[in-house]
């Protein structure tokens, strides 16, 4: 019983941190939740072969309400590219659906590897970004942008994130400010989380090793412990983001990703 109480408190703290970071960076919170859940699920007796899948699926379920709260807070400050999100309303979910059909055949190590490699590329871009490090001054034409939306949806499903990591890289590479990218990323989390959550439920449905209170690869107990705290903290993170100079926000985002990568690497080595 004591162990469960400690675990519940740990997940609540993770919810506060992930919610704050979701608002601050527009990332949905998955970048912090996936490593935390990978650590927590073995304590709950989850079989090793599905720990990564459960962590990613549950993270995606938590992202939906957190992203909604975060996006509302950013929009209240006039930030966010609503037109881009409207363009992506079909392409991003399509990428999610395709990835969801594949994920049941992918090992946990592959999921961890995809997360680490993509996060490292983004972290380096944010940490060492220069004003001239951009592809163009504006977003590309519809066919290219639609393809990017599909790719973000696809990779985000494998990584268990709301797409903010990838979209921040995309938008800042095409002349958009980090504040605009972060606000748009918060809305992107909604487009990804809905189909991705159902995808992970489908992918894990009927698996013999599923823990108690699970729908496929989504654990309802962990989600219930995290969601209230993440929703509470998301608007605070958004408010803080708009008070930070753009370059400091980029550096903070890059350092955060490096910490997450190091944590996941430690889990693999240990």
Counted domains in the chain: 1
Boundaries of domain holding 46: 2-269
> Residue 39: its pLDDT value, please?
80
Give 5's contacts (C-beta < 8 A, 6+ positions apart): none
| 10-residue stretch averages of pLDDT, the chain, 270 residues long | 72 82 71 79 85 88 84 83 91 90 76 76 78 77 92 80 78 86 86 86 90 90 88 85 80 81 68
> Given this model, what pLDDT does residue 270 score?
59
List Cβ neighbours of 182 (8 Å cut-off, separation of 6 or more). 24, 25, 26, 74, 79, 164, 168, 241, 249
CA 71 to CA 79: how far, in whole Å?
A: 9
221: which 2 tokens? 């107990």
Q: What is the CA radius of gyration of the chain?
A: 17
Quote the pLDDT of residue 215: 93
pLDDT on residue 133: 65
- Host H or E run for residue 219: strand 218-219
Q: What is the DSSP letter of 140?
A: -
Please answer whether residues 22 and 28 qualify as being in contact, where contact means their C-beta atoms are separated by less than 8 angstroms: yes
First-to-last C-alpha distance (Å) of the chain: 26
Which pLDDT score is estimated for 28?
62
Euclidean distance between CA atoms 163 and 10, whole angstroms: 25
**Helix, strand, or coil here: 157?**
helix
């Amino acid at each position: 019983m004591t162990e469960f109480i400690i675990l519940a408190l740990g997940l609540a703290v993770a919810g506060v941190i992930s919610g704050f970071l979701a608002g601050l960076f527009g990332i949905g919170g998955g970048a912090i939740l996936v490593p935390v859940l990978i650590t927590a699920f073995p304590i709950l007796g989850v079989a090793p072969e599905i720990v990564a899948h459960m962590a990613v699926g549950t993270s995606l379920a938590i992202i939906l309400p957190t992203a909604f709260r975060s996006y509302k807070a950013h929009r209240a400050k006039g930030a966010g590219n609503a037109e881009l999100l409207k363009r992506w309303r079909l392409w991003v979910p399509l990428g999610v659906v395709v990835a969801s059909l594949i994920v049941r055949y992918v090992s946990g190590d592959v999921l961890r590897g995809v997360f680490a490699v993509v996060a490292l590329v983004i972290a380096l871009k944010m940490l060492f970004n220069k004003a001239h490090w951009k592809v163009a001054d504006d977003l590309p034409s519809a066919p290219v942008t639609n393809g990017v939306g599909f790719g973000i949806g696809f990779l985000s499903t494998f990584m268990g994130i709301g797409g903010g990591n990838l979209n921040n890289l995309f938008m800042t590479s095409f002349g958009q400010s980090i504040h605009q990218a972060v606000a748009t990323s918060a809305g992107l989390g909604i487009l990804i989380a809905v189909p991705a959550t159902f995808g992970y439920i489908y992918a894990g449905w009927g698996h013999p090793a599923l823990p108690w209170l699970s729908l496929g690869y989504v654990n309802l107990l962990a989600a219930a412990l995290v969601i209230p705290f993440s929703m509470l903290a998301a608007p605070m993170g958004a408010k803080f983001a708009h008070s930070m100079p753009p370059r400091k926000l980029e550096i903070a985002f890059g350092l955060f990703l490096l910490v997450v990568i190091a944590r996941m690497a430690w889990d693999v080595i240990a």
